[in-house]
Amino acid sequence: MSTMRDIIVTEVALRDGSHAISHQYTTDQVVRVAKALDQANIPYIEVSHGDGLAGSSLQYGLSRTHEMELIEAAVSVCSRSKIGVLLLPGIGTIKHLNEAAKLGVGMARIATHVTEADVSAQHIARSKELGLVTVGFLMMSHMAPVGKLVEQAKLMESYGADTVYVVDSAGALLPYEVKERIEALKESLHVNVGFHGHNNLSLAMANSLAAIEAGATWIDGSVRCLGAGAGNTQTEVLAAVLDRLGIQTGIDVYKMMDLAEEIVAPILNAPQEINRDSLVLGYAGVYSSFLLHAQRAAKRFGLDSRDILVELGQRKVVGGQEDMIVDLAAEIARRAAHNEALA
């Protein structure tokens, strides 16, 4: 790695990991994880529904515990780490952001589809007014040409974002594609640049290192890979790798290993691994949080979930269109029945 610099790590298991466990976090689980992460000196811990503030719904998945309870609980046990929230304009509102700020969060990440940064203006501005560390989060970054990504990132910077992220929501980017995107943002922006990866093609770590080499200074991870799809860059592994590279994070690697093994592993319904469905997410470029929705629809209609995921990719369906998954599965089932009748 040619350039050594300090890296700020944001832990996303208590937000992105919500997808992997069908948004069933309990207050006790969040308290135990947040407290251990705080003791391991993780700078930022993101806590909210997988689809951000106010994401709990029939469309995105109902939370077992109200996210504001989880946020308040996490804030109460952290003395070093700052709690962050994700907000997708159109799902979460200024009201939800104000409520989270009152509970003591220190960071807000405002997320839009990679071509829709203009919908984030008021939310970024309000986050800044509230005195929060404010991040622009450009999701599904593989779906836009580099020039378009830069244009959208500059919009978020103009609204007041302190950092703008390249977000590989599908885990579809290859290392050279990450490098060219991060380099383009570094050349065009005056604010920090970050990277959020998913491991659907087993490239989250390689992509995170490519991002750092290209100039990113904010990197996301999920402890024990607890994130949507095949999870994110594994935080405890990231901390160990960066330590080996002489890159400072301030994270206690041993404590991260311990909490991953003893606290987070028991929360997982099954070990996070790259199976055929999560592999298809990366291969087809599909939003990682669609995985469980597609699996349920496949079971309901007697289909192969891969057929649903591949067609979602072909149709370029993006986050916020989860309701299309059942419709598409029904359509595929009808098509199959029609073809069978003709045969």
The annotated binding site is made up of: 15-16, 169, 196, 198, 287
Residues placed in the known binding site for substrate: 15-16, 169, 196, 287
- Helix segments in the chain, DSSP class H: 17-20, 27-39, 67-76, 94-102, 121-129, 146-159, 175-188, 204-214, 235-244, 253-259, 276-284, 291-301, 305-314, 323-342
Q: Which of 19, 113, 123, 142 is catalytic?
A: 19
First-to-last CA distance in the chain? 58
19 annotated active-site: yes
Cα–Cα distance measured from residue 333 to residue 310, given in angstroms and rounded to the nearest whole number: 15
Q: What is the largest CA-CA distance in the chain?
A: 67
Residues placed in the known binding site for Mn(2+): 16, 196, 198
Residues in contact with 197: Cβ distance below 8 Å, sequence separation at least 6, in sequence order: 168, 171, 173, 178, 203, 204, 207, 208, 211, 220, 232, 233
Residues marked active site are found at 19
